[in-house]
Amino acid sequence: MSAEKRTSSNVLLDTALKNFYAAAEEMGLSDDLVDILSHSERRTAVSIPVEMDDGSVKVFNGYRVLHSSAIGPGKGGVRFHQDVCLDECEALAMMMTWKCSLAGIPYGGGKGGVDCDPLKLSKKEKERVARTWAARMAPVIGSWTDVPAPDVGTSGPEMMWFIDTLSKMNNKLDPAVFTGKPVGMWGSKGRTAATGYGVATCALELLKNLNLDPSTIRVSIQGFGNVGTYAALTMVNAGAKVVAISDITGTYYSPKGLDIKKAMEHVQNHPKKLLEGFACDGCQKLDLPEAIYVECDIFMPCALEGVINGGNADKVKAKYIVEAANGPITPEGDAILDKKGVLVVPDFLANSGGVIGSYFEWCQNLSGFFWTEEEYNERLIRIMKDNFQLVWAYAKEKNIKMRRAAFMAAIQRVADAVRMRGVFL
């Protein structure tokens, strides 16, 4: 590969680029396609002036990146988090391209966000941030252009503020421009649990291929939002024992297994939807990072990126990692885990349940016809199982790791689309 490679000072973007270049080189991808696919089609940055509740004005930064539209409109979340930046959005948009491609759905990759701390904003302040972001991104988003969705710090209410803002600006309702909406407002039954359900489905498929009984398996989960919650519940329902869960308030651990339904009820009743104060029989509260290091068979990182890296990967005790977050393991961490013999199910395979669910919602919005939750889940599980087996078989055939197999299969589909569509000058 003689094309000049991009690098970035942003850890997540550098990781995304390194993974892409390594897979592209092994595939023998042509230099022109490498150059095209290592750059995003569009990077948009806007300022978001917001009147705060005390009458002052604060300016936040808002972003939206479209990595590729070769297969279809962009797809990816909008996160509200104090560390959001343009490079992070570009990295996540690139990951979304491969995730959508691997899932076999007609989307490219997009991602956006605002550099704010949603826990420090009142409901009205958050609404003003959301509406201004939507208004200023109106030229670059649309149901056949780029379709945002919830992410870290956002959920159904933000999606409704986004839609209401654009609907009033354009004098028409276009519910398909955002997914992750409440069920009563063009949302899709099953969407809330889809990502966590898909993560657990991949974990159970892994156990099936390894001839392991779920009832013998201990699981640790970092992050107890929608993804971690439903991943934990699904694993418990399959017979596994969830020994650790965590959120920003700490890690909650019990070698005997935690009462996940009780934890879910606790979070639901907590004013800030946190695990703070949770207790059950034999439960110990540990420091936040300990969820990564406890004795377990499967670790599911369901929070933020880069939590396993060159500085801590050697302390991981799990035999298998199913990546629910985007980019939770750096390349340096991956290399250490590989030497330790830890099998990793990569993020854009394991956490694709969310984007597949978003695709289902988008299809229903475009047609105006809605499915039952049973129909939704049946389709989701079938696709997740098929995708897992595709990557598993590819990895075995080529004698490569699952991450490399997933990248190669995903990149090939996008590269083929770029070749067929050509370069528009």
> What residues act catalytically?
111
Strand partners, 246: 222, 251
Using alpha carbons, list the distances in angstroms from residue 194 to 18, 200, 234, 386: 29, 10, 11, 16
CA atoms within 13 A on the CB side of 300: 37
Q: Which pair of tokens denotes residue 99?
A: 């995730």
Write the single-letter amino acid at 114. V
| Nearest alpha carbon to residue 402 among 315, 321, 336, 304 | 321
Query: How far from the centroid of its chain's Cα atoms is residue 89's Cα?
Result: 12
Using alpha carbons, list the distances in angstroms from residue 18 to 65, 205, 326, 404: 19, 28, 15, 11
Cα–Cα dist 302/202, whole Å: 14
Cα–Cα dist 244/232, whole Å: 10
DSSP structure string for 228-242:
HHHHHHHHHHTT-EE
Q: Which pair of tokens denotes residue 85?
A: 């930046």
Specify whether the CB–CB gap between 415 and 33 falls below 8 A. yes
Helices (H), 64-216: 86-103, 123-137, 156-170, 191-209
Cα–Cα dist 228/211, whole Å: 24
* DSSP SS3 for 204: helix
Specify whether the CB–CB gap between 175 and 367 falls below 8 A. no
Cα–Cα dist 201/325, whole Å: 15
CA dihedral 192, 196, 201, 202 (to 10 degrees): 130
